[in-house]
């Protein structure tokens, strides 16, 4: 499996990232451990989490994902085999990107993760109430202290990310090497309107989230009636439009023609898109995970890429 580099960081990963929002939420500890074991067995290494995961779940308050992941890292003894990513700044308990909050939040994450460093630390959400210089200086200190190997920006506009890169260059601070925007076959504008070009121009890795549109692009949900009882129902309601159905029908048709699963085709499309380093993917069952990981072996013909591109135009 050919690896891809995260920006100029020198950190290489197999081209799928496990999204850890399910750990301690829709996957209990035992299931999470099984999924993580399988992910590494298949030759993958990058795992993404955040301090806020999964505060939205019933009976949860945040920190659960990092806690489960930390327990697995300790049990498995495979910290050196993992490219560990986490995010700070969105959790209501520790919200924002002030220098003081970043320091406190990172110490909490490291404790829950049971490690003394993370490979990539993301600003989870752009905080326009704090000067970029303050945020970047705080992140730079963490890099110099060896607590963080590389920095990332999640949910930043192309304009703000470009501004942050300029400040880092002018002041000799560690720069954002990775971006984490929303991007999938259905939700394209945010990335394609500027971030994709910036990623290529500035050699920034792009690890994209909602790669399967919260499950819409798996083909499991064909109508709103299929959402009953789903933990992801609130995330999925907005996809059942005329455009959404057009995309889904083309995805299903291409999948049938290639004897592949819809999720595999949707991820293969992402892997072939300019500027994308790796999609973030999640699963709560081993059979789902195995299916998703198979996407790296699928190369879409140019005609299929064109059809999928046009369906979402």
Active site residue 176: no
Q: Which of helix, strand or coil describes residue 154?
A: strand
Distance between CA atoms of residues 189 and 203, nearest Å: 20
CB-CB contact of 103 with 140 (8 Å): no
Q: Identify the DSSP state of 55.
A: T
- Angle value at C-alpha 211, between 227 and 110, nearest 5 degrees: 105
The two tokens of residue 37 are: 């074991």
Distance between the two ends of the chain, CA-based, in angstroms?
31
Q: Active site residue: 53, 156, 176, 183, which one?
A: 53
**C-beta neighbour count of 312 within 10 angstroms:** 18
* Spatial distance between the Cα atoms of 209 and 206, rounded to a whole number of angstroms: 10
Three-class DSSP category at 243: helix
Write the CA distances from 61 to 107, 108, 125, 274, 278, integer angstroms. Answer: 18, 14, 19, 37, 29
Active site residues: 53
């Amino acid at each position: 499996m050919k690896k891809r580099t995260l920006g100029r960081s020198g950190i290489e990963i197999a081209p799928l990232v496990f999204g850890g929002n399910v750990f301690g939420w829709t996957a209990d500890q035992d299931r999470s451990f099984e999924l993580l074991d399988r992910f590494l067995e298949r030759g993958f290494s990058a795992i993404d989490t955040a301090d806020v995961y999964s505060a939205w779940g019933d009976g949860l308050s945040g920190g659960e994902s990092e806690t489960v992941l930390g327990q697995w890292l300790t049990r498995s003894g495979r910290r050196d085999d993992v490219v560990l990513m986490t995010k700070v700044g969105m959790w209501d308990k520790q919200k924002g990107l002030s220098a003081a909050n970043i320091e406190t939040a990172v110490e909490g994450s490291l404790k829950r993760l049971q490690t003394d460093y993370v490979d990539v630390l993301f600003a989870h959400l752009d905080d326009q109430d704090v000067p970029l210089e303050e945020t970047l200086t705080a992140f730079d200190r963490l890099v110099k202290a060896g607590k963080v190997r590389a920095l990332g920006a999640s949910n930043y506009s192309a304009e703000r990310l470009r501004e942050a890169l300029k400040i880092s260059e002018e002041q000799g601070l560690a720069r954002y090497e990775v971006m984490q925007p929303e991007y999938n076959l259905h939700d394209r504008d945010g990335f394609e309107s500027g971030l994709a070009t910036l990623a290529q121009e500035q050699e920034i890795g792009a690890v994209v989230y909602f790669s399967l549109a919260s499950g819409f692009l798996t083909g499991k949900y064909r109508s709103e009636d299929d959402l009953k009882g789903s933990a992801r129902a609130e995330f999925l309601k907005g996809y059942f439009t005329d455009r959404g159905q057009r995309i889904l029908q083309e995805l299903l048709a291409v999948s049938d023609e290639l004897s592949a699963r819809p999720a595999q085709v949707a991820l293969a499309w992402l892997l072939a898109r300019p500027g994308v380093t790796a999609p973030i993917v999640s699963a709560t069952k081993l059979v789902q995970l195995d299916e998703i990981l198979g996407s790296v072996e699928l190369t879409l013909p140019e005609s299929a890429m064109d059809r999928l591109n046009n369906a979402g135009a």
